[in-house]
Amino acid sequence: MNSQSLAREHYSRADVQKEIADFCVGRWVAVHCTTEKGELVFRRYFKGRPLTVSNVSDLQELLRKMNFQARTIYASANKYRLLSCVEDVHTLSNVIGCTPTWDIDSTLQEWRKTVAVAKQIIAFLESQGICNSVYVKWSGNGCHIHIHEEAFSEEVLSKAHPLDLAYAIVEYVNSNVLSRLSESLTMENVHVENRMDAGRVFTCPLSLHRELDVVCVCMKPNELDNFSPEWIKPHSFRHNPQWREHVKGEADKLALKAYEAVGGYPKSTVRKKRKKKSLDQQIIEWLQKF
């Protein structure tokens, strides 16, 4: 089965459509499409409007708009109040939530090292009282660790912008965990960076990887010890839909501690505007690293 046939078959599954659609609600969506020449084209807009998905019907329509050439589907870390025009995605006051995410980059061959690093980050989060609102997505060559964006109370969200809180949390945890890991062989060929920014996108649950014939599956932290690459095979993947679980306010303590120690996102346009590459160009350059 060639790549396009695999993608078309995969995205026709009802369970795949539901997981992707549910994750995309309120987020800015992006799609890598495969052309007839086998080239990948990155799409974030259709007829000048941001791509969005609010339900399964929307996703089915999006797949049709992309001429059923979708290979990988992404969604933003930010969640928005409104997503109807270009201005909406560039207005940070329109952001109502943000998903703190650790992007652990490696190779599939080094999956055991990736798991070891992920477990250290998760152990630190649990030491800070975040136990029920964390989930892991195995995205292909590495994995993402997410704190559910609803794990913050309205009181905490009123004190700082959601992106500032997400950036601060990731930076604070990295500074406490990675320094000691870097002294061991665990980190060899494994990289963890704070990639939280205004346009960051992450692979959706049950999306295909843009190059590897594997599925992005979710799991809860207590399943990491049992993970193997067998879980991400397209025709027999193992996926846990409990990524939706969270406890409101569970991440408040860490959010405030991290924000006090780190401050907010350093390039935030909430504070000032600066000349820089277009958001789409930044994202494309980032995706090409993996």
Question: Contact 226/234 with Cβ under 8 angstroms?
Answer: no
- Residue 36: band (very low, low, confident or very high) from pLDDT cuts 50, 70, 90: confident
Least confident range from 110-119, 268-277, 278-287: namely 268-277
What average pLDDT does the segment 151-167 reach?
98
What average pLDDT does the segment 39-61 reach?
97
- Residue 215: band (very low, low, confident or very high) from pLDDT cuts 50, 70, 90: very high
Q: Where are the domains of the chain?
A: 3-268
- Residues 255-282: tens digit of each pLDDT: 999 999 999 998 744 443 333 455 555 5
Residue 188 confidence (pLDDT):
78
Residue 276 confidence (pLDDT):
45
Provide the greatest CA pair distance for the chain: 52
What average pLDDT does the segment 9-16 reach?
98
Would you say domain 3-268 falls under CATH 3.90.920.10? yes
Residue 129 confidence (pLDDT):
98
What average pLDDT does the segment 4-16 reach?
96
